Amino acid sequence: MFRTSQWIVLAAIVAACGAPTPARDALSGTYAIGGGDAALPQVQALVDAFVAKRPAVKFKIDTSLGSDGAVNLAADRTIDLGMVSRDLLPSESERVDHVVIGAAGTGLIVHASNAVNGLSGAQVQDIYAGRIKDWSVVGGPLLAIVPMVREKGSSARTALETYLFASKPVYGPGVIEIQGGEQMRQAVAAQRGGIGTIGVQSNDPEGAGIKLLTIDGVAATKQSLRDGTYKIRRPLYLVFARTSPAPAIAAFLDFVRGPDGQKVLDRF
């Protein structure tokens, strides 16, 4: 005769055999997002919110590609989505579609000890063109200016050049090119006479030893970037190939455009 414990084990086996297998999420998989880091806070928040609803979907995010790389790799579907922080060229719009996820600005930072708190656009232009070489000319200390700019292809640099030079920059011989936003923060913090460009989305730049200048009397704050009163700004896009995206990517884009995704973006 079966003991009670044996009946329990047998019943459990029978129940297990009859239990339905959980359905596999049709969107399951790992998908690639790449580009620059300006749109990373928005993209990461959107990804986290979407994955909370669809945990079988995973994303890998690479911020080393820049906006140019994001467009090219999304167009040929090497990556599923690109993060772009500048306006698209007409030729690029023919290759990729996009959804707007916010705006970012190019901020001018100086050493935290610098007495200068703001500059006009004309003064910034003269500094980078090499016509103003000392901080005392613009109300600062008797100290040589060390102008620094992001690398070619950087969205932060492109936005600055569009605003100051109508996309035809004239740089003086002393301008130092710095690769990367964090490296720029460190370089300016280490140089009392330094001035440099960074991407900004919030009221205060990240990094010790630096401060953000007003430009033409306007600070680069979250509100001024959103309403356009701070002029050195650029859109933030997610771009994707114009051919049909993978079902999971289509679902993610629907989420971004929908009320849940817009609630996420409203935080920025």
Which CATH fold topology does 29-103+235-265 show?
A: D-Maltodextrin-Binding Protein; domain 2 (3.40.190)
Exposed/middle/buried for residue 8 (C-beta within 10 Å: 0-12, 13-18, 19+): exposed
Question: pLDDT for 50-104, tens place per residue?
Answer: 999 999 999 999 998 988 999 999 999 999 999 998 889 999 999 999 999 998 8
Residue 216: is its pLDDT beyond 90? Answer: yes
Which CATH fold topology does 105-233 show?
A: D-Maltodextrin-Binding Protein; domain 2 (3.40.190)
The confidence score (pLDDT) of residue 133 equals: 98
Comparing 31 with 158, which gets the higher pLDDT?
Answer: 31
Q: 85: closest CA among 73, 68, 72?
A: 68
Query: Could you give the CA distance from residue 20 to residue 43 in angstroms, rounded to a whole number?
Result: 36
State what percent of residues in the chain have pLDDT above 70.
Answer: 90
Residue 215: is its pLDDT beyond 60? Answer: yes
Comparing 175 with 36, which gets the higher pLDDT?
Answer: 175
The confidence score (pLDDT) of residue 248 equals: 97
Domain with CATH 3.40.190.10 in the chain: 29-103+235-265, 105-233
Mean pLDDT of the chain: 89
pTM for the whole structure:
0.67
The confidence score (pLDDT) of residue 20 equals: 54
Question: pLDDT for 139-154, tens place per residue?
Answer: 999 999 999 999 887 8
The confidence score (pLDDT) of residue 7 equals: 45
- pLDDT band, very low/low/confident/very high, at 9 (cuts 50, 70, 90): very low
Residue with tokens 């913090």: 189
State what percent of residues in the chain have pLDDT above 90.
Answer: 65
Comparing 38 with 84, which gets the higher pLDDT?
Answer: 84
